[in-house]
Structure 1
């Protein structure tokens, strides 16, 4: 039929997977059918909305069907399906659930330790303190029960929100595969708002929640001044607020088509400049290189002396920077500071290159290879362990599991780029370790160093052992 010439068909079974998704086709304010879309305000509107609220938007008003043409490939749907709106929210919820499970276990452990301490102390005193001991145990039980109860309340709330978010995630996938564009377009806006509302619920709960830590203080004179002591010990509940990593959801993001990017496998390397490095010994093994803010190059020779070589951007040698041992790799932290790894010596250093002093040394159990800095964190490839993530003070935050033959890395926008010299490949993964893509160089060269230049791309340095 002419009226259904452009209609698409899906099976009844497929429709049943999306029929429970609540999508509004009428204007909430006027009750009229949504027929137009305002690109300026990024919202669907009805005929009555136009003269009342969008009179000055005439150049931005288009038919709703036209706006919905690219709904399944829009940035808004991609964000809802894959990025911060749902996935990051679920990740944060899981992190909070795990953190609160650990906190509750800590309370239980503290309670057990304190009970033993109370019991051991009670064995050495007389019957006069029995009543005080019972009161203290009751106080401890009451305090710990109150703490655990509060943890359970927040955990239940997070669990309920998690289920709602997971349901929205499933509905998003089903909508993308089976629903018509108009259905997807309207539901994307509305589901974004639902996720936003759930995030606000979590944020409010976290802001009002207190983190607990219970302690005990044993009276110093309890063994010698029994007659003068009128309390056995004190139970203290230590409270602290929780950090909230949730950011506002992108409710009003325009549903524009996702731009198709060129595949990494179609990438062709082009030589821009070649720099001749001055020979410093019988053998050179250039294992690391980085670019300073002023464009100068710092180069590490793993077969050379205990220095870093500094060149200007035209390849002219400037001077050397002394370090504590033969360097393997290095990365820029800021204008005056760098971090250096020392391979088989199993440690890294944070160095002030202006004052020529070592600010921090961090030791590991195994060899330290590639090193990178991003967003206040240092990433180090440690053999047999993976990519170890540290803060600027040297505290280990977590470890990203990866292949054993990873050599050099760089980090950009919560992604890790690394080389596998034995495989002749370059890889990209998330900071969780999930691989995004890989690139195999067809030439016989072995990929080693990988740099982060000033633009948002990666520069691959193919460096081999060179005998002079």
Structure 2
């Protein structure tokens, strides 16, 4: 930009000579204090700052009062110009009462409402704005225009403009005027910001000086970026509204599917019931026929026995005649003939009963099936991307973190509920903002609340190693040498699905309904939530225990080689670095910008590397930072936080990333 094109930011109209002198004194005192910090110089700096602010307040009050009097004079001498100066033509109708008009002018003059000129007071006191006589205004304007113009002028010119100026010229934290530019942080700051955040910044530039050399095209870039952002938001809104409509349709479809599923179950049970009822009828008829046959046979034998009894009924023991002897022998022979089959019949006679024996499968169905199924949430990353029509736009609205300036600040200290001996391998933050820790030795998942207090434990089937969140109620847990992973419903403390693996399974990550699992001697296996093997990423994972995904890259640590590695989804290496200060890398996580956080197990530290791995910084180190054989860490994108845990002493901490 040529020197004759430099645009100097003009002072506000209220900024008078006294303000300029006070500002110069303030700048001198501030710069002297920054270069020669001492209690005396600091006191002089604070005094000059307070004096500068006092001068600005006095100038603003005087300016406001003077402008109010000028308006009153204008109303007294030239009513037409007075109303024209506050007139704003609008199409909508609005009405305000006289009291509002009076308060408007009182706000202009401060507390001295008695200084309202007679013409203005008479106009306010004697005029009803619902039935105004426009001839009083010496101008052919409508009633609605007058009312709307006064209200619009009051709300827009005297309020919104001052609020707009205050919004952009004043610090949103301290409410003070923004007087300095910090090149290190690319930020406009106030005097109090220097003490709170920019105390170490020694190259601050006065805004007035900076405005003389600033690239004024940046405002154009901002406007273009804002227009692009507005268009992006509209696209995102459209996408989310469509998703909302789809949810309603999916709800109806699933409701129909559940009813159809229930009908299928009912039909199947009806068929089973009918088969059982047919079997019951057939068995009953068969047994009843057998019993009827036996009854008939017994009735027949009973009849024959009765006939025999009639034949020897009149024979007595005293009768020694041959006839009686013959009759006795024949009756005896006939009884013997009847007794033998009757004895066989009675010996084989059984009492039949019908009983119902429910199948084991049916009993298990009644006892174990608690629901038809579950409503699962399937999430995947949106295909929408931020777009810009201005390819040459230089404005960066979301600058990447500077590795050198990243710091961790402890937010919550956590003591994991102890047992005889702990072996905590991983930690995560659940969607409920609770903390989950994987205790391998005690075969449990330990859950703590946000304040660090223990909430409950969940016992698992084997020695767990790593865990990843699937949705609001489910997590996936690997079991190392157990050669399996489980989908656990942490809300019900139960296992939804067991997925077997071909070998030991260790680190795990999740994206779009698929699990990325480190399987010993196999590589990184991509497995669906349903348990189907989708792909195998062929990399050497013999000493790999933790992985993290970002964009189209996979990051992992190699325990034996003491390296942090990055590869693509084909398994091709992107970069691999070892770091002198970090040994036996364990847990790994990536933030929203691709920076990589890594735990050094043997060196008791935590570091961060740039997405390309070339730059790194140790963030925490040693027992002074609470690290004692650290293993797991987890990055929470929602809160921009880092959760770190030790293996054996039960200590964990939540850090804010600054």
TM-score tier, shorter chain, comes to 0.3 to 0.5
Higher alpha-carbon Rg = 2
Instruction: Please identify which structure carries the higher strand content.
Output: 1
* Structure ranking higher on relative contact order (CA contacts 8 Å, 6+ apart): 1
Q: Given the two structures, how large is their TM-score scaled by the length of structure 1?
A: 0.42
TM-score by length of 2: 0.31
